[in-house]
Amino acid sequence: MAFSLEKFIHSLDLRALPRVLQIQSGIYCQGSVYEMFGNECSLSTGEVIKVIGFKINKLIASICENNEGSQFSAKVELPLNFPGLYKVVADKTPYVSIEEIARKVSIGPTRFGHPCFYSAKDIKLANFTIKHGEKITFNSVEEVNGTTAVNCVVVRNNQPHSFTLPLSQEGEFYECEDDQIYTLKEIAEWKIPKCRNRIVKLSNTLHMWDSSSPFPENFDGCLILMPVYDVQAVMKFRKDIVHILSDLDVEVKDITDCYDIGSFLQPLSLEDIFERTSKEFPMVAEIMEGPSGSQKPYNLLSTGKEIVIYKKYQAARVLASEMRSDSSKRHFLIPMSYKGKFKRRPREFPTAYDLQIARSEKEQLHVVATKAFVSLHKELFSVSVGDQFLVQQCQTSEVLYEGRKKLVDVLACEQILSDSYKKVLLPMYMEGGFVEVIHDKKQYHLSEICKEFHLPFNVKVSVRDLSIEEDVLAAAPGLQFEEEITDSYLLISSASCPAESWEIPVYRLNMLVHLLSKDVQTVVPPVTRTTVEEVSKEEYYMLRRYENLTLHPPPRPPKKPT
């Protein structure tokens, strides 16, 4: 049976890929070429393509029906980076089974992938009953003993109760109201179910009205969103990936079950390569779709180029940010092989508790107060701007509180006077401000800093890495080393002239290759070039988010006595 491409993609489950489609008809002249995203794609009747992926490219937005009185009736095309924050309106149409929810709704590991539903009737499980109207959070889908089920949680009396629901569970399930706000990109990636449109409400409409706004002035912020997908496909006699918009007016027929899918080239992502066993390396691959970016080695990874992939491994990086007060600060991942040197820069501490965290046995912490503080207790010191201290240790001290003696946590310090030192106690709850005084003039390699000091740590490049053509770190006014992380990398070189090798990140580089049945000329990789990777703001927050999942947060500072 033939379907429009749009209808087919809207109903297609990503887990069912790849699919082989035959073009049935379209509104085009013979030899017509569609130019999309720099890729030419000529679709003729009878042509066969293999769909390997799809993602939302843009959204078509229309005003909800309660705005029919408006002069505004045309649909608006919105890019995924269109500004604004949106609330998701719960879908009033029920789902009839857990299988339908799992098939149509995005369920994943992040907070965006935990949709909530309620059942119109009680659901009795073996040792648990879900009450009708009770909020059920769907956390993940997994297979247990050959049966696919959804891991769920309900919260009762602030206590979570976990259970599984099989896909075969039928009922009447409705979306719960969602009080969170999302960007349009987050909604496109996580909050638009398959085969359904999504109604959203702008939560900051007051900031939207200017001459460039595509919406009418009396618009109340309610939109119906319909996704348009970027479909990735492979054609029979081409070595590149073609991109087709799902609203292209052609009809297709699914012929996967009666077609030799192995006759197409097999595109592999870097994640697919990384999942291969270590014994399969090294290997030769041809790039089907290269990454964007002007810095090396990304500018060398163009479509059609052959590369050698020597091995896969985990490597340490230091996540660093520019020390700037504005929002345009840049973020970097620095390898341990970086050959430049750094000098220390003063750190800033907002509280006495931060001084306690930063102190080390290696050297005494010397700070200057930048904010005054008046102590509530005569036993504890009042700080003036310009006071200098040497931080000693954390201890407890007795203070008089409402006529009674009470123990509080304090930071023992030595105040530096003109010709002597004075022992003082600062309350740990003190909200002040301190700047470090640096006496250390030594220049450090990155590995030395990670070994000898606690992060975060402030530095400036004093000697740039001469092995890098353009050392982006040297131009930074200052850097804060935030944390050391471990990430996945592939070591590659050019197949035609393997003079040097490069480390490329597996999870931050969009690139597709297909493997070639060629022998690797040299199994030993050439010298590895150091690459400082600049990461986007979005990638930076994702790195911090996932790295911090395994870390326990520091204890909260003690509360100020009332």
- The arithmetic mean of pLDDT across residues 445-464, rounded, is 91
- In-domain check, residue 41: yes
Question: Which CATH number covers residue 96?
Answer: 2.30.30
Question: Is the same domain home to 465 and 535?
Answer: yes
In DSSP notation, 228-284 reads: EEEEEEEETT-SSEEEEETTSSEEEEE-GGGS-GGGS---EEHHHHHTS-GGG-SEE
**Among 403, 436, 469, residue at a domain's last position:** 436
Q: What is the pLDDT of residues 90-127, one digit of tens each?
A: 999 999 999 999 999 999 877 788 999 999 999 998 88
Strand ranges in 290-403 using DSSP code E only, listed in sequence order: 306-322, 331-335, 341-344, 348-351, 366-369, 388-401
Q: Is the pLDDT assigned to residue 131 strictly greater than 90?
A: yes
Name the least confident of 12-16, 164-168, 469-473, 521-525: 521-525
pTM: 0.65
Question: Is the same domain home to 103 and 145?
Answer: yes
- In-domain check, residue 77: no
Question: Is the same domain home to 454 and 543?
Answer: yes
- In-domain check, residue 412: yes
Q: Into how many domains does the chain fold?
A: 4
The 8-class DSSP code of residue 299 comes to: G
Q: Is the pLDDT assigned to residue 433 strictly greater than 50?
A: yes
Q: Tell me the range of 226-240, 465-479, 533-547 where mean pLDDT is highest.
A: 465-479
Question: Is the same domain home to 522 and 455?
Answer: yes
pLDDT band at residue 32 using 50, 70 and 90 as cut-offs: very low
- In-domain check, residue 562: no
Q: Is the pLDDT assigned to residue 549 strictly greater than 60?
A: no
Question: Is the same domain home to 357 and 212?
Answer: no
- The arithmetic mean of pLDDT across residues 187-206, rounded, is 84
Name the least confident of 199-213, 240-254, 260-274, 277-291: 199-213
- In-domain check, residue 53: yes
Quote the domain boundaries for residue 219: 1-71+192-265
Question: Is the same domain home to 256 and 305?
Answer: no
Specify the DSSP element, H or E, that contains 52.
strand 48-63
Q: Is the pLDDT assigned to residue 74 strictly greater than 70?
A: no
**Among 436, 461, 487, residue at a domain's last position:** 436
CA distance linking residue 248 with residue 23, whole number of Å: 12
Per the CB < 8 A criterion, the answer to whether 23 and 45 are in contact is yes
Q: What is the pLDDT of residues 418-430, one digit of tens each?
A: 889 999 998 887 7
The 8-class DSSP code of residue 188 comes to: H
Instruction: Look at residue 21 in the predicted model and tell me its pLDDT.
Output: 92
Please list, in sequence order, all residues whose beta carbon lies within 8 angstroms of the beta carbon of residue 286, skipping any fewer than 6 positions away. 239, 304, 305, 306, 307, 513, 514, 516
pLDDT band at residue 334 using 50, 70 and 90 as cut-offs: very high
- The arithmetic mean of pLDDT across residues 440-448, rounded, is 93
- In-domain check, residue 82: no
The alpha carbon of residue 86 and the mean position of all alpha carbons in its chain are separated, in whole angstroms, by 19
Nearest residue to 201 via CA among 228, 187, 222:
222
Instruction: Look at residue 526 in the predicted model and tell me its pLDDT.
Output: 86
Name the least confident of 40-44, 107-111, 145-149: 40-44
Per the CB < 8 A criterion, the answer to whether 13 and 198 are in contact is no
Question: Is the same domain home to 330 and 308?
Answer: yes
Cα atoms in the Cβ-side hemisphere of radius 13 Å centred on 409: 13
Instruction: Look at residue 522 in the predicted model and tell me its pLDDT.
Output: 72
Question: Is the same domain home to 376 and 405?
Answer: yes
Q: What angle do CA 94, 97, 99 make, to 5 degrees?
A: 125
**Among 265, 300, 315, residue at a domain's last position:** 265
Pairing of strands 250-254, 19-26: antiparallel
More confident residue, 488 or 29: 488
Name the least confident of 31-45, 362-376, 398-412, 457-471: 31-45
pLDDT band at residue 11 using 50, 70 and 90 as cut-offs: confident
Q: Is the pLDDT assigned to residue 551 strictly greater than 50?
A: no
Name the least confident of 1-10, 160-169, 322-331, 473-482: 322-331
Question: Is the same domain home to 331 and 367?
Answer: no
pLDDT band at residue 247 using 50, 70 and 90 as cut-offs: confident
Instruction: Look at residue 204 in the predicted model and tell me its pLDDT.
Output: 65
Give the other-Cβ count within 10 Å of 272's Cβ.
14
Please list, in sequence order, all residues whose beta carbon lies within 8 angstroms of the beta carbon of residue 123, skipping any fewer than 6 positions away. 129, 130, 165, 169, 171
Per the CB < 8 A criterion, the answer to whether 171 and 184 are in contact is no
Instruction: Look at residue 178 in the predicted model and tell me its pLDDT.
Output: 92
Going from the C-alpha of 51 to that of each of 14, 21, 54, 100, the distances in angstroms are 10, 7, 8, 23
- The arithmetic mean of pLDDT across residues 543-553, rounded, is 53
pLDDT band at residue 72 using 50, 70 and 90 as cut-offs: very low
Report phi then psi at 490, rounded to 5. -115, 140
Name the least confident of 5-19, 193-207, 251-265, 412-426: 193-207
- In-domain check, residue 80: no
- In-domain check, residue 67: yes
Question: Which CATH number covers residue 373?
Answer: 2.30.30.40
Mean per-residue pLDDT over the chain, rounded: 85
Question: Is the same domain home to 446 and 336?
Answer: yes
pLDDT band at residue 328 using 50, 70 and 90 as cut-offs: confident
Question: Is the same domain home to 497 and 457?
Answer: yes
CA distance linking residue 178 with residue 532, whole number of Å: 40
More confident residue, 548 or 148: 148
pLDDT band at residue 167 using 50, 70 and 90 as cut-offs: very high
- The arithmetic mean of pLDDT across residues 354-359, rounded, is 85
Name the least confident of 290-294, 321-325, 537-541: 290-294
CA distance linking residue 152 with residue 173, whole number of Å: 14
Please list, in sequence order, all residues whose beta carbon lies within 8 angstroms of the beta carbon of residue 118, skipping any fewer than 6 positions away. 132, 133, 134, 135, 136, 173, 174, 176
Sheet containing 348-351: which strands, arranged edge to edge? 348-351, 431-436, 366-369, 388-401, 404-416, 421-427
Question: Is the same domain home to 423 and 453?
Answer: no
Per the CB < 8 A criterion, the answer to whether 51 and 243 are in contact is no
CA distance linking residue 244 with residue 442, whole number of Å: 57
